Chain A
Amino acid sequence: MKLALVGALALTTALAACSSGGGTNPVVSAIWQKVKPGARRAAAEAEAEAAARPPIVVTFAKIKETGLAIIRARVGDDTTGVMLYARSVNDGYVTFASQLLQTMTLQGSLITASRAIGYDMLSVRTDAGDPVTVLTPPENWRGSVTRDYRFTGDTPGGRLISVTCRFVKGPAFELELLDKRFDTTIMQSQCRGDGQRFTNIHLVQADGQILRSAQWLGPDQGMIEIDILEPYTP
């Protein structure tokens, strides 16, 4: 009986999302792609082909050639990251998109929205002059700002988390990024409010340009790390 129950549940789960509109259940399709005859050999061939290709070396010169504002984003254990290119601008809010149309919106260097990277962050409001949004040399960073983070949730406003972020200046740090090294200062923003606390970390050049930062994308998504390889300039 127990085996029959497990079998029946597995069958219904497999068939559950099958329809003329959606085709086969995508989970079933994914499993089938893995186990179908020849799948393993095809995967091994593709892997070997990829390994044989010369690695693409990204340099700042190549980035400049594109003429595009570019950031690189990494989530979790990912070490290579995904390139996102500036696709739209609205009054200082620049939206970057990957080839798969994962998007991230930045105000200066502050991530104010993300889409299709996991749990979406809808928007962020911060105080005018937030040093993460405008070029501010490390020694001129103000003491704190307030920010309103909005995430998906009921009603048009979604779930609102308001925090106060206190900035703390740290030591100098030499950052190796692509083919160059940069002198930066480590800046922390320690944020707390509405039952949440998190710490964003920014590596800031003397002129205030943030080159790398780890920023909070919400209570479900956690942190993301971005490299600003070519900042947007109007």
Chain B
Amino acid sequence: MFASIRLIATTALVSIAANGALAQGFAPSFGTYGSTGIIDMPNAAMQPDGETSWSFLNGGTSAGGVLNFQLLPNVEASARIVTLDDWSAPGTSFGDNTLDLKFRLVQEGDMRPAIAVGFRDFLSNGPTASEYIVATKSIGENLRVSAGLGWGRLGSNNPIGAPFGTRPAVDNELGFGHMFAGDAALFGGVEWQTPLDNLVLKAEYSSDAMTGEQVFGDFTYNSPFNFGAEYRLGSHLSLAAYYNYGSEVGFRVSISGNPNQPITPQDLGAGPAPVNARPADYSRDISWAAAPVVRTKMVEVLSSALAGDGIHVQEGRITGNTLELYINNSKYSRDPMAVGRLARVLAGSTPPSVEVFRITLMSGGLPTTTMEINRADLEAQVDRPNAGPDSFATTTFSSAPNHIAGEGVWTPEIDRRFTWGLSPNIPVNLFSADGLGEIDLILSANAQYRISRNFGLSLSVTQKLLGNIGDGAGPSASTLPHVRSDAALYASGGPVIQRLTADFQTKLAPSLYGRVSAGYLERMFGGVDAELLWKPATQNWGLGAEVAYVKQRAFDTMLGFQDYETVTGQASLYWNTGWNDLEAQVDVGRYLAGDWGTTLTLSRRFTNGWEVSAYMTLTEVSFADFGSGNFDKGISLRIPFDWTLPFESRSATTVSLGGYGNDGGAQLNVANRLYPTIRGSDTTDLYETWGAYWQ
């Protein structure tokens, strides 16, 4: 290398200074099930934590889409919407909507293979239900081999026995009794990273005899050996082709992204203000603070200077040695970044006698958490190693009262009474009657008029741009009140008034929040909804209670109502586990159709704003009365725009995959519930995102 340096132009050091990650084998890829695997067979490999992919498949005997998500470093989840051709009769397809899970029990080591256990169609003993245990080992950097034992569908070719008893007949009912029951069979395969960059070749011995496909279809099963090739186009797109069963050609297209890895560099704007420490003999004189007009003018000037950087002061007070600010952060996706930048500005712009900065975050007009930052600590920590952990340790966190206490508080006029925004929504109905899934693309226009900090009017109008949710839906045959099953009757193209409400929210105590909303609360119901939330800022759990009296809106989604009215509500427990960004919520209460039950929601919220949630609701409504899907369940994915944009933005879009038009377990869709409004500001969350404090 030194010899080459002599020859290069003097400005080319960068091009010869080597860097890179050490080789760790080739990237795991997806199989025909849309989850990480060989071809039809699974392996024990895992995607990078948080990796999310959409795969579109056509395998000759089946076609569909799969959302695959690396839920935790050792847990992979896949939601599949697949149509099985000629399944129940010639020419009659079967819509197979399943949830697959794979758990890695042992990570690959130098001498040991990775071992994983997995479940296809985890919730029922459907046509693709199977369980497996599989081991995978890399040999060198370009070869990966796998071998495993499968049950259910994966135990149907050359079984070696049934060690755990007989497997019940295939059905589509919720249940777990089938797991690891029935015949077991061996499978295995190899994956080879070819010398051609991005091309991986695969071969496998399948333990799936494809029995069901041969009953009614013209499918011919000739061989248990399958072959495939995958080609990656960049890091976000892969294409694969297969020759399976000795008779069928298939293909797959996968689009991937990772919430931990923004696809464009962040922070290409301006960096934070440099901080110079005050000299040792700085003036401790506080006589300047004797005049109230000086103090309020100082806060006012500071406020206008900060507004340009997306930090809006809602209340402020300065004394000789303390500055208190209530702020709205409208720019930075991570609140600690706003707080850190604000603290730097304050260190450079306030009199040296001001020793303490007390900064309170606000969300939705509600003060949430107060952070007390000692200026001397800030000056000592800035630019030094370990500044992140040190600054978190020296910052004091507490629940904020509704207003700054005491005299001399400066409060600005509401500078933006009227605000608006546009956002896309992409609801997906997994459980449509034909089993094929339905999707809409909806543009939502939202406007707010704020009368005071705590009271405002909200309007949301939506326009469906494309989609087929509800298309062809017949009259509802539900035996329950038709609280959702008449959804198709509402599904006119729009624009429609989604929401028109008056909302009042306040803090009744530093840890107690309250909200009342009245008006057209959502697309199908209007009324009055009241909520209380107890959630100390330094606690990772909270309790909520909500009750609403609602009436069903007219099908034209304008101002009229129908006859159905009810009282609904729930008590809720919220728990931010602090483990791998996981949050849990349990709701117990009375649902819209008058049924009593409970909803469990699990969410993983990444520090960069991505959020994946899954929920299930069980109520006293029987599976038979509930209809398709047996009970209400769904998944939603929230993607912030700053993941793909080279600037800070707090905008986001949501893709929802869930039940549609089911009356059992239906909740009121209120837009401004308290916990989602304030949860991003508790200490558990701030700890997770505090790495941005010095950015």
Contacts and interface: CB of A to CB of B under 8 A. Distances in A.
11 contacts: A8-B441, A13-B424, A17-B645, A19-B420, A20-B418, A90-B275, A90-B380, A116-B271, A196-B21, A201-B13, A214-B13
Given A9-B441, A175-B10, A188-B1, A223 B17 contact: yes
A100 interface: yes
Interface string B5-37: 110001101101111111010000000000000
Contacts, number: 227
Interface class of chain A by DSSP: strand
Given A156-B691, A219-B21, A97 B274 contact: yes
B18 A123 contact: no
A160 B31 CA distance: 34
B332 interface: no
Given A16-B641, A74-B11, A196 B22 contact: yes
Contacts of B420: 19-20
A153 interface: yes
Contacts of B269: 116
Nearest to A158: B691
A155 B14 CA distance: 31
Given A112-B383, A120-B267, A214-B13, A198 B690 contact: no
A76 B265 CA distance: 14
B92 interface: no
B265 A119 contact: yes
A103 B344 CA distance: 14
B695 A120 contact: yes
Contacts of B392: 156
Interface of A: 4-5, 8-9, 11-13, 15-22, 26-27, 74-76, 79, 87-91, 93, 95, 97, 100-103, 105, 112-113, 115-116, 118-120, 122-125, 148, 150, 152-159, 170-171, 173, 175-177, 186, 188, 192, 195-201, 203, 212-216, 219-225
A4 B468 CA distance: 13
B10 A176 contact: yes
Interface string B249-281: 000000000000100011111111111110000
A125 B389 CA distance: 14
B275 A88 contact: yes
Contacts of A118: 265-268
B421 interface: yes
B422 interface: yes
Interface residues of B, number: 73
Contacts of B422: 15-16, 18-19
Interface in B646-683: 647, 649, 651, 653
A21 B330 contact: yes
Given A76-B14, A156-B392, 4 more contacts: A9-B441, A101-B272, A113-B383, A155-B687
A122 B607 contact: no
Given A19-B419, A26-B647, A214-B13, A90 B19 contact: no
A97 B645 CA distance: 24
A212 B16 CA distance: 14
B384 A123 contact: yes
A89 B279 CA distance: 12
A9 B266 CA distance: 24
A122 B694 contact: yes
Contacts of B24: 195
Contacts of B689: 154
Interface string B376-410: 00011011111111011000000000000000000
Nearest to A114: B271
B465 A152 contact: no
Contacts of A157: 386, 388-389, 691
